[in-house]
A and B are shown apart, each in its own frame.
Chain A
């Protein structure tokens, strides 16, 4: 359902990366966008396989590899944490740290927003939170790429949230009752068709906003860092380097904060929409 918009965004971004000028927009875009190679700049470049199947481009790209790395890290860390609970109920070390985050998602995000019956949605919310967090953090490492700075990835996460919201709401209220419950009570009769259209549109715009918010936050942060460091090359002088690096360091620390906040906001808004769909009478 987002295919035209995705094509517009990704085509215009790709058209810049194909003309790689020295310094300027080409270099910045090369580091932000998806590509078929993983560059470890002065050392070597890994060329990833290009797979074309049934007329679709299913090649493995940089962002896909980093999503797989995030996925492998998640499985590794959480299997270790879960197994350590078999030995004792008192966590230590890594389990302790993960327990803080898990309890945070349960008590601050899931319970207040969804209310009764929050346990059914808790695995989904926890997975979403940790996946976005790990993807965001992997982009901050040297030679790393942020998978969530790709509109396709965030749009997919938003579509999955949309499906969970609708299915959750329909399982609780029944399919017809769910649509009836979209319109708040006490609305005059002539207003009902307009309210219905507005509410249905609202059902679609809310996940769309989730996708764009995460994508734009991650991309904008990286563009600012690259632009500040690229100033050194554009001005072609080494004396601007201390200023540039200092500002870039500050923005880098801000990026760490923004990654945490954006993972929290995505999860919290998903939980809020699930709560609104499941308990429609607030």
Chain B
């Protein structure tokens, strides 16, 4: 029985839960900080984008493994 596709699908889903939770929390605190101090919003926006790209990088490691599974 070939479970590779199923494993790849479930893996991708779980990865997305983790990544989306992380970036969601990040965006929430960035918005809050921007609201408290609007002058710093430029710096906050830059740091937010950097942190989001790093978190997305991690979730894409898992995605690469899922792609490898689905293609074998």
Contacts and interface: CB of A to CB of B under 8 A. Distances in A.
Contacts of A128: none
A220 interface: yes
Contacts of B49: 261
A216 B71 contact: no
B68 A212 contact: no
A213 B72 contact: no
Q: How large is the interface on B (under 10, 10 to 19, 20 to 34, 35 or more residues)?
A: 10 to 19
A265 interface: yes
Interface string A1-44: 00000001100110110000000010000000000000000000
A215 B57 CA distance: 10
A129 to B, nearest CB: 14
B60 interface: yes
Interface in B15-72: 46, 49-50, 53-54, 56-57, 60-61, 63-64, 67-68, 71-72
Chain B contact residues: helix, strand, loop or mixed: helix
Contact of B60 (A8, A16, A212, A268): A212
A195 interface: no
Contacts of A209: 57, 61
Contacts of A15: 71-72
Nearest to A13: B71
A216 B53 contact: no
B68 A8 contact: yes
Nearest to A14: B71
A262 interface: yes
Interface residues of A, number: 20
Contact of B68 (A12, A108, A261): A12
A9 B65 CA distance: 9
Nearest to A213: B57
A261 B51 CA distance: 11
Contact of A265 (B50, B61, B63, B71): B50
Interface of A: 8-9, 12-13, 15-16, 25, 108, 209, 212-213, 215-217, 219-220, 261-262, 265, 268
25 contacts: A8-B68, A9-B64, A9-B68, A12-B68, A12-B72, A13-B71, A15-B72, A16-B71, A25-B71, A108-B46, A209-B57, A209-B61, A212-B60, A212-B61, A212-B64, A213-B53, A213-B60, A216-B63, A216-B64, A217-B60, A261-B49, A262-B53, A265-B50, A265-B53, A265-B54
Interface of B: 46, 49-50, 53-54, 56-57, 60-61, 63-64, 67-68, 71-72
